[in-house]
């Protein structure tokens, strides 16, 4: 490995901030950078692959991590540990940022999350390797979360430290990514019968992520707030159709202007998986008898929190023929 750069994080020299509050403190006998919230950037280094290691400590619930390939302040790759859910399925999280929004309610499951033992109240080592479309994220040498397909294009960008709620960082090291450092992981897969593309009114055709979820943050800034998605299909014979959907944050699903489902799904707490507000199948479904003929399916979504704005929809039934999204 070749050292690209190192930073003790005992000084603010060669550090910039994007929305963060930075200060140097002494914590548990070490000089360290305290980051209240936001990004601390290293502006002199533009890289597309590396190994980043940094020591981190939190005392209360927080989301400390590493940002890389920072193209601009609103779009970058993000990986972090979650000490207050240590041992749970999402103690390690890949959470790409689009248009300034986190998207963990869209990027969930074994392709983007992994359990790990992440301590509170003592230092732990976070390591992030990234090369090409892949990354590996680990804590204290435990088995890594391997992301097989990063969400942003491969390109050079800045790297930095990220926090949501206060965290302490020390002894940053950035080196070349060792060959073979990134092992195989769980590849994202779209569930059967999911709608893979939509026509977004006043925008055009939008396509779903590899896990089948439409990430609206990829296409739109926060200011849109509400969208209308449309698809047309033909039902060759009459019969029942099951609409299985996951969404974030609010949705109204209509068939030929008739309401099928309306609901809200947002982050509530850490009590269980359902309370996280993931846009995943299995929690909301409706069966509807559909006549033979040409039909219009409409999904109206609204955003209410910056954790991921999107939809996944599986349409289960016989004799369904989808029209191209571009014709919607």
pLDDT digits (tens, 9 = 90+) for 104-127: 999 999 999 999 999 999 999 999
Q: Are 43 and 79 in contact (CB under 8 A)?
A: no
CA–CA separation, 207 vs 145, rounded Å? 26
Which pLDDT score, from 0 to 100, does residue 328 have?
Answer: 58
Q: Specify the fold of 197-327.
A: Jelly Rolls (2.60.120)
For the chain, what are the domain ranges?
3-175, 197-327
**CATH number of the domain at 3-175, out of 2.60.120.560, 1.20.1440.230, 3.40.50.2000, 1.10.10.1590?**
2.60.120.560
CA–CA separation, 84 vs 293, rounded Å? 52
Same fold yes or no, 3-175 and 197-327:
yes
Q: DSSP characters for 224-237?
A: G-EEEEEEEEEESS
Measure CA 112 to chain center.
Answer: 8
Measure CA 274 to chain center.
Answer: 17
Which pLDDT score, from 0 to 100, does residue 318 have?
Answer: 95
Question: In this structure, what token pair is assigned to residue 65?
Answer: 């991590």
Listed as ranges, residues in the chain with pLDDT below 50 are: none
**Residue-averaged pLDDT of the chain:** 95
Q: Which helix (H) or strand (E) holds 321?
A: strand 320-322
Which pLDDT score, from 0 to 100, does residue 222 have?
Answer: 82
Residues 6+ apart with CB under 8 A from 212: 189, 190, 191, 194, 196, 312, 314
Question: In this structure, what token pair is assigned to residue 51?
Answer: 């190994």
């Amino acid at each position: 490995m070749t050292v690209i750069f190192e930073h003790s994080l005992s000084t603010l020299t060669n550090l910039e901030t994007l929305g963060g509050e930075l200060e140097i403190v002494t914590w548990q006998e070490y000089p360290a950078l305290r980051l209240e919230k936001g990004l601390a950037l290293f502006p002199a280094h533009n890289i597309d692959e590396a190994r980043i290691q940094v020591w981190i400590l939190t005392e209360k619930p927080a989301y400390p991590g590493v940002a890389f390939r920072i193209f601009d302040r609103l779009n970058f790759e993000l990986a972090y540990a979650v000490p207050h859910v240590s041992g749970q399925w999402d103690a390690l999280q890949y959470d790409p940022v689009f248009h300034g929004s986190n998207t963990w309610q869209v990027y969930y499951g074994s392709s983007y999350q992994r359990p790990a033992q992440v301590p509170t109240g003592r230092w732990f080592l976070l390591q992030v390797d990234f090369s090409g479309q892949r990354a590996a994220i680990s804590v204290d040498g435990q088995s890594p979360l391997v992301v097989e397909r990063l969400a942003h294009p491969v390109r050079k960008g800045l790297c930095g430290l990220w926090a949501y709620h206060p965290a302490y960082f020390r002894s940053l090291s950035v080196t070349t990514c060792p060959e073979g450092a990134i092992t195989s992981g769980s590849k994202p897969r779209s569930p059967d019968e999911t709608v893979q593309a939509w026509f977004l009114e006043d925008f055009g055709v939008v396509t779903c992520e590899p896990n089948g979820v439409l990430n609206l943050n990829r296409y739109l800034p926060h200011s849109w707030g509400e969208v209308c998605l449309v698809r047309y299909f033909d039902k060759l014979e009459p019969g029942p159709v099951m609409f299985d959907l996951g969404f974030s944050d609010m949705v109204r699903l209509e068939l030929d202007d008739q309401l099928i489902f309306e609901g809200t799904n947002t982050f509530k707490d850490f009590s269980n998986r359902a309370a996280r507000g993931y846009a995943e199948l299995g929690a909301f479904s409706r069966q509807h008898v559909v006549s033979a003929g040409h039909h219009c399916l409409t999904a109206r979504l609204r955003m209410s929190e910056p954790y991921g704005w999107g939809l996944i929809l599986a349409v289960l039934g016989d004799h369904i023929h989808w029209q191209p999204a571009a014709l919607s």
